[in-house]
Structure formats: structure tokens, C-alpha cells
Amino acid sequence: MNQTPDLEQLLTDPVVATLARAEETAWFTASPTETAAGIEQSGIDPAIVTDAQARFLRFAPWFAEHFPDTRATHGILESALVGIPDMQAELSSRFGKELPGTLWVKRDDSLPVSGSIKARGGIHEVLQVAERIAVEAGLMGPDDDARVLMTPAVQDVLSKHGIAVGSTGNLGLSIGIVASELGFKTTVHMSMDARVWKKDLLRSRGVEVVEHAGNFSDAVEAGRKTAEEDHSVWFVDDEASLMLFAGYSVAGARLAGQLKALDITVDANHPLIVHLPCGVGGGPGGVTFGLKLAFGDAVHCVFAEPTHSPCMSLGVRTGLHDAISVNDIGLDGITAADGLAVGRPSRLVGEHLQQLIDGYVTVTDERMKAFQGLLHDTEGIDIEPSAAAGFAGPWRILGDETYRAAFGLDETRMANATHIVWATGGSMVPAAEMAGYVAEGQRLVNEVVWG
Ligand SMILES: *Cc1c(COP(=O)(O)O)cnc(C)c1O
């Protein structure tokens, strides 16, 4: 579909050359774009964020009724922000560099309903589609409590509609679980790397799971095609959906509330630095948009990707965005990091949001697993490997004097910094599988090079 990029030319950039060798990299934006200008430049209307916030509130009573793990928060899907001083000390000692400020983990691995960051975006799109169908059928007012969707009249309408999605796993889980609960005919197209337990779980909930021999993009393509052939099917497009993006962005204001409750100041002298694992980019992109709206120039957002699948880093660095795939620079795209095995980035995020993204870090699978093992040993927190990708970033910023100088991160400000590693998934991983990850991670701690 796309013209093959001139590889030789691209490889003259040392960052692209490092990406092509599947080695770890970190590169940062040369100079800050003022947030207000960056938002304007994105062309994305901030009103989608408040709209999504209101939608989650309308659905809160529905969630509380249908998902017992949301009862304690009265149907609001949110995760804890947890301090991890022992992990901070351990990594400071391993990397041989004391991290100033405080290190936190955002526990999206334990989000209710589907145990990953996809519970923000994926679920939001399904809710929005359900509401729209019910409103168009004249069976729901725009501000009605969402429980009206469970009345027989609305259920009759929803059951005649389908939801389809292509996924490496976690998006399929989020969408499948909620769409089937709402009464949609739900189909999840999964790529070959998707875990068996995810497929089994979805089937147990009445979701049709279609397996594809190819990668993430092939699964997405297959989903798109079925929706094109049947107009009663809504296709959730992970590569370009604004509804997904809006759902993720709600995290910004929510995090602001959490930090306030913890009495943590975020301003020019107290920077907030957030590290987000990136697959296709919708999740970290949406969260970044929400964070920039909430904190302005005081927040720094860094994306973390696997060395074998650094699609966003490659797309932004080359300026080719979704016109280049990691395969074009000779990478296989294969990684143990669920959700991050994506070869081509989102059109929406790379092109429209790049001026708001501060940096890009790549991490080997071995290092992600080692982080995961260390987090288990130091804090007793278990997350999936992809969710640990963000732990390299804080030390990468410490090592990049040019970035810190350009963005005013002097010693005083670094000492005041709040570093948040966004842990994006894990609580639904079966115990035996998690134990295997942890054991491997603990072994790899002694094999990866830290210095
Ligand atoms: C999907 C996912 C991400 C990244 O989200 P994208 O929207 O694909 O960039 C990160 N971590 C986990 C565990 C995921 O499932």
C-alpha cells in the first residue's frame, strides 16, 4: 500500500540505525512546544475529553450493577497511584545513578473489568456506540442513566448490532467483555501472538474469537473488512479511533485529582514525568493529551517501546508515521510484550501529537522482564512484561543532559520531580503464567547489563 522508504537514506540517522539493530535507544524532543500551541496544532478538540468524562459518569451505575469489582468505586473505573521507594532504591543502585524525586507506579494493571489500560479506551468506545444506537432508535435521551440500555426494547436493538475489533489481546478483552455484557454480537479478531487464556476467557463470555495467522495489522484489517461488508457491525479501529483516544484521555484529570489528594504539587518547579508503554500509540497518546490538558507544560510524557517493535519511535523520527513499518528497517516485530507488538503506528497519534510527546525509549524484552522481576521482589507488585517497559525512562532522562537543559529540568527541579511509570496490564494474567514471568524476570535481573 505504501511506497517503500529509502532505507539507505533513513539509516544515516544514528537513532534509526540503532532502532534497525534492535538495540536500546532513547531520544528526546529538541525543544519544548508550549502546551496550548501543541493542543491547537493537534487539531483534536479538548471537548472530547469532557464528553468522555460525562459518559463514564452516566455509565457508572451500570458498571456497579454488572461488574462487582467496580462496586467499591460506585462504577468508576480507576486505578491506584502507588509509591515504590524500594524499587526506586533498587534501580538507582543497579543503574549506578540515584534517581532524584519520587518514583510511583500507576496501577492500570489492576483496572477493573479487564485489567489493562484498554479498560479506558476500548470500553469507552463501546459505551459511546451503544448510546448512539439507543439514542438514534429514540429509546434513550442524551443524558439518561445508561441502565436504560438493559431494558428489553433497547436490548432488542443492540442485539441486532455487532461490534468487531482486531487485537493482540488486551483491547479484545476490554471490548469483548463489555460489548457482550451490553448485548452486542461481538467478534474479536486476534493475531497469532495473542495468549490462549485471553481467547478462552472471551469465548466463555460468548464472544466470537477469530484467529489469524498474521500479525496485529492483519487482525485489524480482517476486522475492518467484516464491518465494511456488514453495516450493522461497528469496527473499533485501534489504528485511528478518536473514541478510543477520548477514553484514554480521561486519565489526565483523574490523575490530577489523585496527586492533589496525596498533596503532591505539580508546577514548573515540581515537574511530573510520566513513562508510558506504547503499542499502536492510542493509549499513551490519549493519556498524554489528557495529562497535557491537566498539567500543561509541567508534565513530560515519554513513550516506551520494545526494541523489536519500536513503531512510534520510527514513525516520528523518520516523519513517515504510518507510512513506515518496523519490518521496513529489518525488524521482526516479535516481542513478549503483549499489546506492544505493533509494526505500524497510529495515524492519529504520531502525526497529530508528536509536538506534545517529550521522548521515546526502547527496551529489550529481557530488560522489561528483569524490571518485572525486580518489582515483584522489591514491592510485591506483579505486572505483565509490557507494563514494565516504562522503568528505563527515568534513568534515560538522567543521562540526557541536553534534554534536561532544553526543558529546564535543573537539579532543584529534578529533586522535586514526580516520576510515574504507567503499568499498563497484568491483573488478568492467570497465576501460573504470572509465576512463570516472575521466575524468568528474576533470572534475567542477573543477565541484563545495568551499568
Ligand atoms: C495496548 C497496550 C499498551 C499500549 O497501548 P497502545 O494504544 O497500543 O499504544 C500498553 N500496555 C499494554 C499492556 C497494552 O495492552
3-state secondary structure of 250: coil
What lies within 8 Å, CB to CB, of 96 at 6+ separation is 450, 451
Per-residue confidence (pLDDT) for residue 191, from 0 to 100: 80
Per-residue confidence (pLDDT) for residue 192, from 0 to 100: 76
1 pLDDT above the threshold of 60: no
The residue whose CA is least distant from atom 15 of ligand 1 is 339
What lies within 8 Å, CB to CB, of 253 at 6+ separation is 49, 53, 290, 293, 294
Q: What is the mean pLDDT of the chain?
A: 95
**Rounded to an integer, what distance in angstroms lies between the CA atom of residue 121 and that of residue 354?**
20
Give the architecture (CATH level 2) of 7-114+248-444. Answer: 3-Layer(aba) Sandwich (3.40)
DSSP assignment of 331-347: -----SSTTT--SS--H
**Rounded to an integer, what distance in angstroms lies between the CA atom of residue 174 and that of residue 135?**
23
Task: Give tens-digit pLDDT for 3-22.
Answer: 667 899 999 999 999 999 99
Task: Give tens-digit pLDDT for 109-141.
Answer: 999 999 999 999 999 999 999 999 999 999 999
C-alpha of residue 9 to centroid of ligand 1, in Å: 31
Using the atom order of ligand 1, give the atom closest to the CA of residue 121: 7
Give me 61's grid cell.
451505575
pLDDT band at 215 (very low <50, low <70, confident <90, very high): confident
* Residue 346 CB less than 6 A away from ligand 1: no
DSSP assignment of 384-421: -GGGGGGGGHHHHHHT-HHHHHHTT--HHHHHT-EEEE
**Residue showing cell 481467547:** 199
Give the architecture (CATH level 2) of 118-244. Answer: 3-Layer(aba) Sandwich (3.40)
The residue whose CA is least distant from atom 1 of ligand 1 is 339
**Rounded to an integer, what distance in angstroms lies between the CA atom of residue 253 and that of residue 269?**
20
**Residue showing cell 496485529:** 216
Name residue 7's amino acid: L
The residue whose CA is least distant from atom 8 of ligand 1 is 279
Query: Range(s) for CATH 3.40.50.1100 in the chain?
Result: 7-114+248-444, 118-244
* Residue 312 CB less than 6 A away from ligand 1: no
E strand map for 130-207: 162-167, 185-190
